[in-house]
């Protein structure tokens, strides 16, 4: 056989082999496997369904989960597949007004008619069963399992944890680039908002085959193409769950609006943060309770207002230690020098009172702090000077935001010469403004969190910590705990100065204006203050720390429209200090209140259980009054304490 014949035979054999394989494959597909392919041939689309990840949990300092997740049954519609003629029938099945259902579907159709839109959340088991039986009549309707938050029954934490809400229409396009869809919920306040990126996790997806009529026809590719969702990162908080509960209950018992911020003076970690009035986070959980939401919006006490970081009031006599420290460090006065407090200080033709005009007699600096002598500090500010007063206030962070990890913090106001020049005009204001500033009044404005940071810095001898609620997080991907680093600064103030301030504040609790804060067996240092309120009764401040020799807790308490700080705010501080220092633990069973140990975190909560102490608020004013507008007033003519 010559060479051309051999080549022709080889080509012929190759062609025959190829066609044999093709016919064999065709035989397999048409004859042997026709049933499977017949089913698939009736499918005209593959549907992608997003799978929402569980949000990260929030775990307190004792390893107890205080914000967790629970199942949420939702009904979704793919607008392009849903028959609008079935709207009435679907509305009846899920017990939802038909006009609301139509409106939701229309919005979904406009945004993306191929993307599922949630039309009902938080359905009960009966409604889900009824709908499941009738899904075959409702193409484009899906039943999905989502997540909603689970909170403990023992505390609200409304301004601390925050809540989730559907994404507003105006922000939807902006957030779409970050992977959000019209159906998603997003952190709207508190830690939920501040740490949204950590808590949200990553969506998963499952792929389904559907018939031309929208009927589910099985998993695509046997589920191998599905993408699992990734849970959000768990946050580890500095919060003490038991102390938080107690703070909320103490504020509620006053019947007033107010705030409590307690810090660990050695780290700046927030132990408790409570604002009153608060609200039930379950109003926003799953589907929003419209009546509950309307009650919150129309309440004259403004429960959405987070007084811990947004209420700005003059601190009153709480601020006197700033002036005292400025005088000591600048050597403006001998602290042992005594000044006669006869109850009246004259500046020009104006009279400023001390102790309602009764005075305190001869007082040195320690005693002036203890009895809160206004006359002493009226004199002292003219020795120290306005510039130094502003300098030391700024040193402690007043006039600036503290940087706490919550959204919406206000900075307050620390007056200065430049501020008065800008407000009143150069050379158009007098030193008479200093009289009110000397006792923490006038334009000076502070928030409870600023005063808590200030109290902590007094406690720890001048270390100014950035306050924080979250110590760190556990990365879901790696399983590793990642701590956060927060700013701290050592203030250039001598130990001798702090010793004198501590002595004066200790005297406040032992025999001064804050005796109702005394805790037997615990050395407590504190200071009362009164914020003038032109709209009604003054607001009551109290700051404290304990034990003086080794501080474990520092706090600021504000009760609005309550009058004198020593009568109502000091007892609140007393109960919080007593509870925390004397072996405070989670006051209720974690299991019975929806809180449970975070076993996955490798931490164990304190196994000891106790009950809340019997809370007695001496001279507490009964009955709630509407909160005054939280604006800074220039009240230069009235002196208190």
Domain range annotation of the chain: 46-237, 244-270+310-464+477-582
Q: How far apart are CA 352 and CA 376, in angstroms?
A: 12
CB of 283 within 8 A of CB of 296?
A: yes
Task: State the pLDDT at residue 327.
Answer: 98
pLDDT at position 610: 33
Which residues, 6+ apart, have CB-to-CB distance to 350 below 8 Å?
432, 435, 637
The rounded distance, in Å, linking the Cα atoms of 268 and 404 is 10
| Token pair for 329 | 């460090």
What residues pair up with 76 in beta bridges, in sequence order? 118, 142
Instruction: Kindly report, residue by residue over 180-208, the tens digit of the pLDDT.
Output: 877 788 999 999 999 999 999 988 888 87
Give the separation between CA 297 and CA 304, rounded to whole angstroms. Answer: 8
For the chain, list residues with pLDDT below 50. Answer: 1, 34, 37, 39-43, 585-595, 599-641
Both tokens assigned to 150? 């689970």
CATH superfamily of 46-237: Penicillin-binding protein 2a (Domain 2) (3.90.1310.10)
The pLDDT assigned to 564 comes to 76
CA angle at 294 for the pair 290 and 295, rounded to the nearest 5°: 120
Report pLDDT for 341: 93
* Terminal-residue alpha carbon distance, the chain: 124
- 244-270+310-464+477-582 — its CATH code? 3.40.710.10
Gap between the Cα atoms of 190 and 407, Å rounded: 6
Contacts of 358 (CB under 8 A, 6+ apart): 343
| Contact by Cβ (8 Å): 68, 57 | yes
Helix (H) or strand (E) holding 566: helix 565-581
CA distance 545 to 246: 17
Note whether 236 and 569 are within 8 A (CB). no
The helix or strand, by DSSP H or E, that contains position 75, with its residue range, turns out to be strand 64-77
Give the C-alpha separation, 617 to 246, whole Å: 13
Closest residue by Cα to residue 594 from 82, 208, 67, 95: 67
Distance CA 46, CA 35 (A): 19
Q: How far apart are CA 380 and CA 197, in angstroms?
A: 50
Packed helices 87-94 and 125-133: angle between N→C axes, nearest 10 degrees: 150
Is the separation of the CB atoms in 410 and 365 below 8 Å?
no
**Residue 85 contacts by C-beta under 8 Å, 6 or more apart in sequence?**
none
- Nearest Cα neighbor of 311 from 171, 505, 185, 451 is 451
Tokens of 169: 């229409």
Instruction: Give the Cα separation of 575 and 249 in Å (integer).
Output: 11
Global confidence as pTM: 0.79
């Amino acid at each position: 056989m010559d060479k051309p014949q051999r080549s022709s035979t080889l080509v012929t054999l190759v062609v025959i082999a190829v066609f044999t394989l093709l016919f064999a494959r065709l035989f397999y597909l048409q004859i042997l496997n026709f049933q499977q392919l017949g089913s698939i041939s009736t499918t005209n689309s593959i549907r992608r369904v997003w799978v929402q990840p569980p949000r990260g949990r929030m775990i307190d300092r004792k390893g107890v989960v205080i914000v967790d997740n629970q199942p949420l049954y939702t009904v979704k519609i793919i607008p392009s597949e849903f028959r609008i003629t079935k709207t009435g029938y679907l509305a009846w099945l899920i017990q939802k007004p038909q006009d609301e259902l139509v409106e939701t579907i229309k919005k979904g159709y406009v945004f993306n008619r191929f993307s599922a839109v949630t039309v009902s959340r938080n359905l009960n088991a009966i409604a889900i069963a009824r709908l499941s039986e009738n899904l075959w009549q409702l193409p484009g309707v899906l039943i999905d399992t989502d997540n909603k938050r689970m909170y403990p029954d023992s505390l609200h934490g409304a301004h601390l944890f925050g809540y989730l809400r559907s994404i507003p229409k105006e922000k939807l396009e902006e957030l779409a680039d970050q992977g959000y869809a019209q159906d998603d919920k997003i952190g709207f306040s508190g830690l939920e908002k501040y740490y949204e990126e950590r808590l949200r996790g990553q969506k998963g997806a499952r792929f389904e085959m559907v018939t031309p009529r929208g009927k589910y026809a099985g998993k695509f590719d046997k589920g191998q193409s599905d993408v699992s969702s990734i849970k959000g990162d768990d946050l580890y908080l500095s919060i003490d769950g038991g102390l938080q509960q107690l703070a909320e209950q103490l504020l509620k018992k006053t019947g007033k609006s107010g705030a409590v911020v307690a810090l660990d003076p050695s780290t700046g970690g927030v132990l408790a943060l409570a604002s009153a009035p608060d609200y039930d986070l379950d109003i926003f959980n799953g589907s929003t309770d419209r009546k509950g939401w309307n009650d919150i919006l129309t309440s004259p006490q403004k429960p959405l207002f987070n007084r811990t970081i947004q209420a700005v009031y003059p601190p009153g006599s709480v601020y006197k230690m700033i002036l005292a420290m400025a005088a000591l460090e600048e050597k403006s006065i001998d602290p042992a020098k005594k000044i006669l407090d006869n109850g009246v200080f004259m500046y020009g033709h104006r009279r400023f009172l001390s102790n309602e005009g009764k005075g305190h007699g001869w007082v040195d600096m320690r005693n002036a702090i203890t009895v809160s002598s206004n006359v002493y500090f009226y004199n002292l500010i003219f020795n120290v000077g306005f510039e130094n007063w502003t300098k030391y206030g700024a040193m402690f962070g007043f006039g600036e935001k503290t940087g706490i990890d919550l959204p919406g913090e206000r900075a307050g106001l620390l007056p200065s010469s430049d501020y008065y020049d800008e407000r009143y005009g150069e050379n158009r204001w007098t030193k008479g403004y200093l009289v009110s500033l000397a006792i923490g009044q006038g334009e000076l404005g502070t928030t409870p969190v600023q005063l808590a940071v200030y109290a902590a810095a007094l406690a720890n001898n001048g270390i100014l910590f950035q306050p924080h609620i979250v110590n760190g997080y556990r990365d879901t991907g790696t399983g590793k705990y990642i701590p956060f680093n927060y700013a701290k600064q050592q203030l250039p103030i001598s130990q001798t100065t702090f010793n004198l301030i501590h002595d004066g504040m200790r005297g406040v609790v032992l025999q001064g204006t804050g005796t109702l804060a005394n805790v037997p067996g615990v050395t407590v240092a504190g200071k009362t203050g009164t914020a003038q309120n032109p709209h009604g009764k003054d607001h009551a401040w109290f700051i404290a720390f304990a034990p003086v020799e080794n501080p474990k807790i520092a706090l600021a308490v504000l009760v609005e429209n309550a009058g004198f700080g020593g009568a109502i705010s000091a007892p609140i501080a007393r109960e919080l200090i007593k509870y925390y220092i004397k072996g405070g633990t989670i006051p209720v069973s974690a299991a019975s209140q929806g809180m449970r140990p975070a076993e996955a975190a490798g931490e164990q909560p304190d196994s000891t259980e106790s009950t809340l102490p019997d809370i007695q608020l001496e001279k507490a004013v009964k009955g709630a009054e509407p909160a005054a507008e939280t604006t800074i007033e220039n009240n230069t003519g009235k002196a208190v304490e």
